[in-house]
Amino acid sequence: MATKAGSDISDEELREVARIEGIDYEYLRRGIATGRIVVARNSRRHRVKLVAIGEGLRTKVNVNVGTSGTVVNPELEVEKVRVAVKYGTDTIMDLSTGGNLDEVRRRLMDVSEGTPFGTVPTYQAWIEGVAKFGGTNIPSDWFIQVVERHLRDGVDFMTIHAGITRELAVKALRSERIAPIVSRGGSMLAVWMIENNDENPYLKHWDYLLELFREYGAVISLGDALRPGATADAHDDLQIGELVNNSRLARDAVAKGVQVMIEGPGHMTLDKVVADVKLMKSLSGGVPYYVLGPLVTDIALGYDHIAAAIGAAIAAAAGADIICYLTPSEHLGLPSVEQVKEGLIAAKIAAHAGDLVKLGKRAAREDVEVSIRRAMLDWDYQISRSYDPERALRIRTQFQQSISSCTMCGQFCVFLLLPRYMKDRKPEVDKLLNRYGEGCELRW
C-alpha cells in the first residue's frame, strides 16, 4: 500500500498504532510515507509489538543487553531482557560480543515477548571475520552477509555505521580530540578501512543494503561512529561531518522506500543539546533521531544514567524520538540486572519529561491524575502508577506511619490541614490538561 516507506504494516495495524499514540490516522500515514516516522518490524517476524518512532509520537526508550568478550553469560542477558520487558522498554538491542553470537541473539529474541529487536551487525562481522579470514583481511561483502543473516533471523532494526568514511576515520585518529573514536563498531571499521586502504563496506554496498532492508521492511539505524565521547569533543567537524553523511544517506533511503533513523551523541554540554536535535532534523529531512543520552557531564561515574537522563529529557523535548538508556555501570563494566532496571526507569522518566513539553496535554493526563490523588493522600493510586511500585511502597513504609499523610511532615502535612478549604479537582482533569498546551507543531 502507498502509506509507507519500507514498512509492510497493514492499514488495520496502522489504525491500531494511531489509536495507541492518540493521533490521527492520516497524520501517521503521512509520517511513515515521508520517512518522519518508522515502524520497527521485520516482515519475517510475527507477533511483534507495534512500535512507531518519530515526529509527534511518544518518545520511545531502548534497552541494550548483550554478552561481552569477558563476561559470557547468556542467561544473565536473558534476565536483563525479562526485566526490560517487565518495566516497559519499547525496544531492545543485542550488543553481544562474546560466545556464540547467533545463538545468543536468537535466544534473546525468543524471550523478548515481541518487543522490537535491534542489533549492531558490525560486531559479529568483525569478531567472526577476524577468526575466519585471519586478522583484518576481511572481504567487504562479509559485513553485508552478516547483516543479511540478522535480517533473515527477523531483526527489526540495525545500527549500520555507514557515515564514517575512510577519510573521516583517518582525520579522527590524527585529530586533537580527547577521545578520537569511542564507538566499538566505529573503531572496528576504522581499523578495517585503514588496514585495507578501502572505503567503508556499508558505503560500498549501500544500494544493495537498501534492497535488503526494503525486502525485509526493517529499519536502518545509521550509527554515529564519531559521536563525541567527551563533552569537550562535542559538535566538532568530525561529529558534524558524519552527521552530514548520515543525513545524505537517510534522505537517499527514504527516497528509495527504506525505513531509516539516525543515531546521535554521546557526550555534550546542556547548551548544545537543543541545537544538536534541530540540526539533525534539518539536515536529514526529519527522520527519527535516536540519541544515546546525551551525557551532559563526563564525571558521573556510577551515576551516568542520571547524567544521560538529564540530556535525554532536553533532547526529547527538542524533538528526539527514541532514547537509548544508559545504566549506572556505563564506563565501568557490564551492567547487572538491577542496573538495567535503574537505567531503563531513568530513561523512561527523561522521555516522559520531554513528552510533557513535546506533546503537551497528550502526554500529561497521568501527571494531572497523580497530582490530584497526591493532594487526596491517595497512596494506593500514586504507588500503582509509579515506574516501580515495589520500590515506591518500600520507601513509603520504611518508617512507622500511623496517620494518612507521610513521614516527611507527619501531622503537619498540608493535605491534612487544607482539604476542607479546597474544591474537588477530580472532575476537572480535562480542564487542567489544557494548561499543558497542544504540544509539538505538526509540520506536514
**Peptide linkage before 266 cis (omega within 30 of 0):** yes
Comparing CB distances to ligand SF4, the nearer of 19 and 374 is 374
Comparing CB distances to ligand SF4, the nearer of 279 and 416 is 416
Q: How far is the CB of 372 from ligand SF4 (least distance, A)?
A: 13
Cα(422)–Cα(54) distance, integer angstroms: 41
Q: How many residues bind ligand SF4 (CB under 6 A)?
A: 7
Quote the cell numbers at residue 90: 519499547
Which of 1, 170, 414, 418: binder of ligand SF4 (CB under 6 A)?
Answer: 414
Q: How far is the CB of 405 from ligand SF4 (least distance, A)?
A: 4
Q: How far is the CB of 400 from ligand SF4 (least distance, A)?
A: 14
Quote the cell numbers at residue 373: 490523588
Q: Are 295 and 267 in contact (CB under 8 A)?
A: yes
Q: How far is the CB of 170 from ligand SF4 (least distance, A)?
A: 58
Considering only residues 42 to 101 of the shown chain, the ones binding ligand SF4 according to CB under 6 A are: none
CB atoms within 10 A of CB 267: 26
Q: How far is the CB of 408 from ligand SF4 (least distance, A)?
A: 4
The reply on whether position 413 binds ligand SF4 by CB under 6 A is yes
Q: How far is the CB of 291 from ligand SF4 (least distance, A)?
A: 34
Comparing CB distances to ligand SF4, the nearer of 170 and 409 is 409
Binding mask 389-408 for ligand SF4 (x = CB under 6 A): ----------------xx-x
Considering only residues 415 to 434 of the shown chain, the ones binding ligand SF4 according to CB under 6 A are: 415
Residue range at the interface with ligand SF4 (CB under 6 A); choices 21-29, 314-322, 345-353, 412-420: 412-420
Residue range at the interface with ligand SF4 (CB under 6 A); choices 119-127, 256-264, 270-278, 411-419: 411-419
Q: Any residues with CB less than 8 A from the CB of 217 and at least 6 apart, and which?
A: 6, 7, 8, 41, 42, 43, 259
Comparing CB distances to ligand SF4, the nearer of 244 and 413 is 413
Q: Are 205 and 198 in contact (CB under 8 A)?
A: no
List helix spans (H) across 359-443.
361-375, 379-384, 389-396, 414-417, 429-433
Q: Are 138 and 198 in contact (CB under 8 A)?
A: no
Cα(25)–Cα(27) distance, integer angstroms: 5
Q: CB under 8 Å, gap of 24 or more: what pairs does 354-358 form?
A: 354/59, 354/312, 354/313, 354/314, 354/315, 354/316, 354/317, 354/318, 354/320, 355/58, 355/59, 355/316, 356/317, 356/436, 357/316, 357/317, 357/439, 358/59, 358/316, 358/317, 358/318, 358/319, 358/439, 358/440
Comparing CB distances to ligand SF4, the nearer of 71 and 414 is 414
Q: How far is the CB of 378 from ligand SF4 (least distance, A)?
A: 11
Residue range at the interface with ligand SF4 (CB under 6 A); choices 139-147, 211-219, 357-365, 413-421: 413-421
Q: How far is the CB of 366 from ligand SF4 (least distance, A)?
A: 18
Comparing CB distances to ligand SF4, the nearer of 70 and 412 is 412
Residues near ligand SF4, by CB under 6 A: 405-406, 408-409, 413-415
